[in-house]
Amino acid sequence: MVVFGIDPGSSVTGFGIIEQRRGRLHYVDSGFIRTSAGLPLSDRLVAIHDGLLEALRAHEPDAVAIEAIFRHRSSESALRLGHARGVALLAARQCGYVPFEYNPMTVKKSVGAHGRADKKAVANMVQMLLGTTVKGPADVTDALAIAITHCSHARFPLAGGTR
């Protein structure tokens, strides 16, 4: 099973692809889409959408998993995140996927960190689980953690989340 994880953000959207074979996790690929804060939000959203479409089409995963909505200290930040999540969900759906959603606490616990772990702790656990050094911003390891979470939580990995 190949899983495409997405960590949406209006500045940086991370994605990570892993494969689960015979109960073991294998790193496939990862990357990120960085947008400029100086651009209008609509242009940033187009860049996120187009970048995710390209990556999804290149990898043709079996399932897509994305970070679920969570509470945020700033309503403005939450709104920007919601926009980024929306275009990520749209890109997945346009490629024929119904994404699985996991909240941040579930993701952190799934990779072996505690529910209040910081990004560095999550990155360390992801790299240990995958046996590789992951390059790029924390959004990339967060996306891989979301993909790992799907592998550990999906009883029927392909039901409801695929094309």
pLDDT tens digits, one per residue of 8-50:
998 999 999 999 998 899 999 999 999 998 999 999 999 999 9
Secondary structure class of 95 (helix, strand, coil): coil
Residue with the bigger pLDDT between 121 and 79: it is 121
- Residues labelled catalytic: 7, 67, 139
**Hey, how many other C-beta atoms are within 10 angstroms of the C-beta on 137?**
16
Is the pLDDT at 133 greater than 70? The verdict is yes
Residue with the bigger pLDDT between 141 and 120: it is 141
Tokens for 141?
């390891």
pLDDT, averaged across the chain: 89
- What domains can you pick out in the chain, each with its CATH number? 2-153 (3.30.420.10)
Q: What is the DSSP letter of 25?
A: E
Tokens for 157?
């990995």
**Hey, how many other C-beta atoms are within 10 angstroms of the C-beta on 22?**
5
Tokens for 24?
């073991």
Is the pLDDT at 163 greater than 90? The verdict is no
What's residue 155's pLDDT? 62
Torsion on CA atoms 107, 111, 116, 118, rounded to nearest 10: -100
Contact criterion met (CB below 8 Å) for 126 and 17: no
Tokens for 32?
């990120």
In this prediction, residues 87-94 reach a mean pLDDT of: 97
Entry pTM: 0.90
Contact criterion met (CB below 8 Å) for 86 and 24: no
Query: 86 — alpha (psi -120 to 50), left (phi > 0) or beta?
Result: alpha
In this prediction, residues 114-132 reach a mean pLDDT of: 87
What's residue 71's pLDDT? 64
State the Rg of the chain over Cα: 15
Secondary structure class of 77 (helix, strand, coil): helix
